[in-house]
Chains A and B, each alone.
Chain A
Amino acid sequence: MNSQRLMALLVAIIISAPLLLPDGQGIGLVNAILIWSIFVIGFDLVFGVAGMLSFGHAAFFGVGAYTLSLLTMRMGWEFIPSLGAAGVVGGALALVFSYFAIRVSGLFFALLTLALSQLIYIMAGTKLRMLTGGVDGIAGVPRPDLFGIDFYDDGNYYFFLLALFILALLISGLIRISPLGQALKAIKSNEVRAEQIGFNVQRLRRSVFTISGVFAGVSGGLLASLIFYVGPQMLHWTTSGDVVIMVLLGGMGTLFGPILGVAIFEFMREWLSTQTSHWYGILGLIFIICTIGMPKGIAGLITQLWDRIMPGGKS
């Protein structure tokens, strides 16, 4: 056992909580964790692996949510093809963003993605009101209708989300250890050298940005169906900010760390918001303390503790 496996075990315990706890307690929370995890698993490919800080992912997430809602509610599409379309549209928008933003890096990249996603947010709330329902959003987003199972029951929907979560985890895990993932790590480590040994840096960045857009689009569609609603708030840049916090809190660049970040973030959101209306400020404070105290997030802390308990037992 190593710290990686310990984190995997922690994740497994968290996501199987509804099965372990009596009466399926915490099912709503875990469903939200599964959906946001799909988002951060994709986001960390861009942020943690390739080293690009994007504040534009809310756009792909929100556009995915609208796509699923519109296709199922107005066009009469089935849920699964609509979810696929949510991913495709999220990825396509990410590809479009990348043509503008990939030219620059670092802070400029973060700001450009932020500006582009805010543009989508404003458009959804105003110009595209006919389509998006404006600031009111669209209520009544459906859930899947498969094999005669009632997915409007949260306990059943849990298994649907769990399957997609595991699929997302496998895909992301494979990308990380594939030549593509290694090339992205190389770009993060030393862009000049990566380019000089023959990597097409721009194209690689564009591809991972698009892939993470697909993850965001799918998770956006899933969240809309979980809460039966989509509104422009999902497109707001604070959604991107939340995801950055989740990944940093959990440990960027690790497969399981960001999921632990999601779990803590969502737990805080759920629990703190019942205690005080200033929950977001308190969450921010906790985040600041965490980044100072454990810059590598929970993943870093676990690895550190593990090395202390099991000195020398690296593998």
Chain B
Amino acid sequence: MNSTAEAKHVLRCEDIEVSYGAFKAVTNVTYKFKPGLLYGLIGPNGAGKTTLMNALSGRARISKGRVFLNDQEITKQSPHARTWAGLGRSFQITQIFAEMTVFENLRLAAQAHRFRLQPFWRPVGKFKEIANDAEKVLSEIGLESFGHVNAGSLSHGDQRALEIGLALLSEPKVLLLDEPLAGVGHDVGEKAVELIRRVSQGRTVLLIEHNMDVVMEISDEIIVMLAGEILASGNAETIKQDPRVRTAYLGEDE
């Protein structure tokens, strides 16, 4: 019984609310995410997309409702505990270890995933398994020739790819990507879309993105948020046809 339920929904939000004083940034959000699908999360600025992502990853306190990852409640868990439970994320504003090399960045993510207690009795270089994990992801995100470059001096697009790489090393079942294409040039953008497609194989991805063409093209399902609530959801065609979405989000009058 349990395994079928798990197979059905990898991530589940039950009526969650995030409020800052009287302001409700996210409210009445109930949604079930199926395994292996790519969800596009869209909505105008201030709709609560990033706040919802923060609530899911543990960076924003959920004032009401519950969140389940694989039927395990994570509502009150800290961000690192959620990462261990199988939830990875990238950030809207790039969060990397800027003064370390790309390889060191990835190796840190690998050791965070491998060791619950960080060993202190041997040099980090002696732990071959974490170096191997890092090398694997280094080529997966297409940065194999930048391993020894300082992460801070990478191009913006490559930093975004590194962010995804850092999230991948925790072997997440659910990957939250907050505008991974923001500020990325067109050429690089195509490479990035390809990367998103690739990493979404076999896992659930929730993607915030403002480029509608990309969202419509790669999402299996699209969730539209407005004023902290989910306005509509469905496949690209349904969303395009939805009059509420057209009015509220695309700004078209009937």
Considering only CB atoms and an 8 Å cut-off, how many residues of chain B contact the other chain?
A: 38
Q: Are B57 and A196 closer than 8 Å at their CB atoms?
A: yes
B43 to chain A, nearest CB (A): 23
Question: Chain A contact residues (Cβ within 8 angstroms of B): what range?
Answer: 20 to 34
Q: Are B113 and A198 closer than 8 Å at their CB atoms?
A: yes
Question: Restricting to B126-151, which residues have a CB under 8 Å from any CB of A?
Answer: 127, 130
Bits for B107-129, please: 1 = Cβ < 8 Å to A, else 0: 11101110100111111110100
Q: Are A182 and B108 closer than 8 Å at their CB atoms?
A: yes
Q: Are A199 and B98 closer than 8 Å at their CB atoms?
A: no
Q: Are B80 and A195 closer than 8 Å at their CB atoms?
A: yes
Chain B residues lying within 8 Å of A181, measured Cβ to Cβ, are: 120, 124
Contact of A186 among B97, B120, B123 (CB under 8 A): B97
**Stretch from A109-117, A142-150, A170-178 at the B interface:** A170-178
**Stretch from B28-36, B83-91, B218-226, B244-252 at the A interface:** B83-91
29 CB-based A-B contacts, threshold 8 Å: A174-B121, A174-B122, A174-B123, A175-B120, A178-B118, A178-B120, A178-B121, A178-B123, A179-B111, A179-B120, A179-B130, A180-B120, A181-B120, A183-B118, A185-B97, A185-B100, A190-B95, A190-B96, A192-B91, A193-B95, A194-B97, A194-B108, A195-B78, A196-B57, A196-B89, A196-B166, A197-B166, A198-B109, A200-B78
Besides the contacts A175-B120, A196-B91, what 18 more A-B pairs have beta carbons closer than 8 Å? A174-B121, A174-B122, A178-B120, A182-B108, A182-B118, A185-B100, A186-B100, A186-B108, A190-B98, A192-B59, A193-B96, A194-B97, A195-B79, A197-B113, A197-B167, A197-B170, A198-B113, A201-B80
B interface residue numbers (CB < 8 A to A): 57, 59, 78-80, 83-84, 88-89, 91, 95-100, 104, 107-109, 111-113, 115, 118-125, 127, 130, 166-167, 169-170
